[in-house]
């Protein structure tokens, strides 16, 4: 297929899903796992697979798999990504990998390729952790990286558990499904500017920074905003404000990344000193050591400030992902095949979880601004078409050689 045809096919499929879950006010996406918009995308995925004669299975954890090739043949090459988004996230983070995988199958079929090993296109559930709080929940369940009991009991802001949203208790680890796979290759929009700076439409990932999420519960004394003297207050918001400043400083000192993007305040009234503040720290670093130091430094600063403010702080680790080194041989082979640059990322992905279970690689597609987890996230159709063709070549290489 010419790149123009691939770009047209991409635009055609992309326009089918673009309106789903898009917020008219911000232009961002509200595609939380197993909510109505994401369910519509799952149905779209099933319809696309049916149109291609690709039977779809569910692994009992909410992950969908569409298969091209002999159902009993071993060594399937797994590809795909996720549909769910962060609140008001961009269009490409996740869906680009699923749409590109379907189009890569089309491209191979149009070229008359009959793979010796099956291709399986996956749509993983709850990659962002935006609804149930643990990122890569679907791929962690599939690989046994999270206890079923814990996953089943995770609750969203309305108190709905993952098991209730799934409609059943998650199946948990499916080693037999993974045993039938020889590799996993996830295509994803780059969430940075490395490919822009190298003037390349496609790149190959080398590693994912270790990273995690920690919940800080700060309790104090709720009181009247007007009649409570400043000296008499035990204000958790004050403790939290200092903690946020400390996180920023401690991260800069270590070349690490610390983000506080989510907070809950009780009672959350303009004229009341809060009784409780819950804040989440997202911390990441190129190496495990600085990451651990960063988290401990922030924990220490929060505890120290709480003593001064007469408040209490508890810190709970909600999820962590170790340093992921993708399969070096596979990465070298793909970078040579595609004549593409290699690059690490500080963004987490299902590929970071699958890397613990089978040889795994990631392809990145150029993002002109590098902005992600924002309505401003973008990627050009020509680069997306280049990503489809690159993925088709990779799938042919891994299923036919």
20 binds, among Mn ion, ligand HGY, none (CB under 5 to 8 A by kind): none
Residue 127 is a binding residue for ligand HGY (CB under 6 A): yes
Residue 93 is a binding residue for Mn ion (CB under 5 A): yes
Residue 84 is a binding residue for Mn ion (CB under 5 A): no
Least distance from C-beta 348 to ligand HGY, angstroms?
4
Residue 138 is a binding residue for Mn ion (CB under 5 A): no
Residue 128 is a binding residue for ligand HGY (CB under 6 A): yes
260: phi then psi, degrees, rounded to nearest 5: -120, 105
288 CB-near residues (< 8 Å, 6+ apart): 210, 322, 323
Residue 347 is a binding residue for ligand HGY (CB under 6 A): yes
Nearer to Mn ion, 94 or 290 (CB): 94
Strand order across the beta sheet in which 276-284 lies? 257-266, 276-284, 211-219, 312-321
**How many residues line the site for ligand HGY (CB under 6 A)?**
5
Residue 133 is a binding residue for ligand HGY (CB under 6 A): no
Q: Is the dihedral of CA 325, 254, 188, 131 positive or negative?
A: positive
Q: Which stretch binds ligand HGY (CB under 6 A): 53-61, 127-135, 172-180, 253-261?
A: 127-135
Buried b (16+ CB within 10 A) or exposed e, 198-207: eebbbbbbbb
Residue 38 is a binding residue for Mn ion (CB under 5 A): no
Rule CB under 6 A: choose which of 95, 274, 348, 359 binds ligand HGY.
Answer: 348
186 binds, among Mn ion, ligand HGY, none (CB under 5 to 8 A by kind): none
Residue 361 is a binding residue for ligand HGY (CB under 6 A): no
Least distance from C-beta 127 to ligand HGY, angstroms?
6
Nearer to ligand HGY, 118 or 192 (CB): 192
Q: DSSP letters of 157-170? A: TTS-BHHHHHTS--
348 binds, among ligand HGY, Mn ion, none (CB under 5 to 8 A by kind): ligand HGY
| 194 contacts 369 by C-beta, under 8 angstroms | no
What three-state secondary structure class fits 83? coil
94 binds, among Mn ion, ligand HGY, none (CB under 5 to 8 A by kind): Mn ion
Q: Rounded to the nearest 10 degrees, what angle do helices 95-110 and 36-51 cross at?
A: 10
156 binds, among Mn ion, ligand HGY, none (CB under 5 to 8 A by kind): none
Residue 94 is a binding residue for Mn ion (CB under 5 A): yes
CA distance 56 to 47: 10
Helices (H), 112-214: 137-143, 148-153, 162-166, 175-179, 194-197
Nearer to Mn ion, 94 or 331 (CB): 94
179 CB-near residues (< 8 Å, 6+ apart): none
Q: Which stretch binds Mn ion (CB under 5 A): 29-37, 88-96, 104-112, 297-305?
A: 88-96
342: phi then psi, degrees, rounded to nearest 5: -110, 150
| 221 contacts 273 by C-beta, under 8 angstroms | yes
CA distance 113 to 89: 36
| 161 contacts 133 by C-beta, under 8 angstroms | no
Residue 135 is a binding residue for ligand HGY (CB under 6 A): yes
Residue 306 is a binding residue for ligand HGY (CB under 6 A): no
Residue 238 is a binding residue for ligand HGY (CB under 6 A): no
Interface residues toward ligand HGY, by CB under 6 A: 127-128, 135, 347-348
Interface residues toward Mn ion, by CB under 5 A: 93-94
């Amino acid at each position: 297929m010419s790149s123009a045809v691939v770009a047209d096919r991409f635009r055609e499929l992309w326009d089918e899903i673009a309106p789903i879950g898009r917020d008219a006010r911000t232009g961002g996406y509200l595609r939380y796992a197993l909510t109505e918009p994401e369910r519509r995308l799952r149905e779209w995925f099933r319809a696309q697979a049916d149109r291609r004669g690709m039977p779809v299975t569910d692994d009992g954890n909410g992950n969908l798999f569409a298969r091209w090739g002999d159902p009993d043949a071993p060594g399937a090459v797994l590809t795909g990504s996720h549909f769910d988004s962060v609140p008001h996230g961009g269009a490409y983070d996740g869906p680009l990998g699923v749409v590109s995988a379907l189009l890569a199958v089309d491209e191979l079929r149009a070229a008359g390729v009959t793979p010796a090993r099956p291709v399986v296109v996956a749509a993983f559930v709850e990659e962002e952790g935006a609804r149930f709080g643990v990122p890569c929940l679907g791929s962690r369940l599939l690989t046994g990286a999270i206890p079923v009991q814990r996953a089943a009991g995770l609750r969203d802001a309305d108190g709905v558990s993952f098991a209730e949203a799934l409609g059943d208790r998650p199946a948990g680890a499916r080693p037999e499904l993974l045993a039938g796979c020889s590799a996993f290759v996830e295509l994803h929009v780059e969430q940075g500017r490395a490919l822009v700076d190298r003037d390349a439409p496609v790149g190959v990932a080398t590693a994912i920074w270790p990273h995690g999420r920690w919940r800080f519960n700060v309790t104090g004394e709720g009181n009247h905003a007007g009649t409570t003297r400043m000296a008499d207050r035990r204000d958790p918001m004050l403790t939290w404000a200092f903690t946020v400043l400390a996180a920023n400083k401690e991260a800069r000192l270590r070349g690490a990344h610390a983000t506080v993007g989510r907070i809950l305040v009780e009672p959350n009234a303009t004229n009341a000193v809060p009784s409780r503040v819950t804040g989440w720290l997202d911390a990441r670093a190129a190496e495990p050591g600085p990451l651990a130091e960063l988290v401990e430094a922030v924990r220490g600063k929060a505890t120290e400030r709480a003593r001064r403010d007469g408040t209490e702080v508890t810190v709970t680790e909600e999820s962590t992902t170790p340093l992921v080194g993708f399969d070096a041989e596979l990465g070298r082979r793909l970078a040579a095949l595609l004549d593409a640059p290699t690059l690490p990322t500080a963004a987490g992905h299902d590929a970071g979880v699958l890397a613990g279970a089978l040889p795994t690689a990631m392809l990145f597609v150029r993002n002109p601004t590098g902005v992600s987890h924002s309505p401003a996230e973008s990627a050009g159709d020509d680069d997306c078409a280049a990503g489809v063709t690159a993925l088709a070549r990779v799938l042919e290489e891994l299923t036919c050689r």
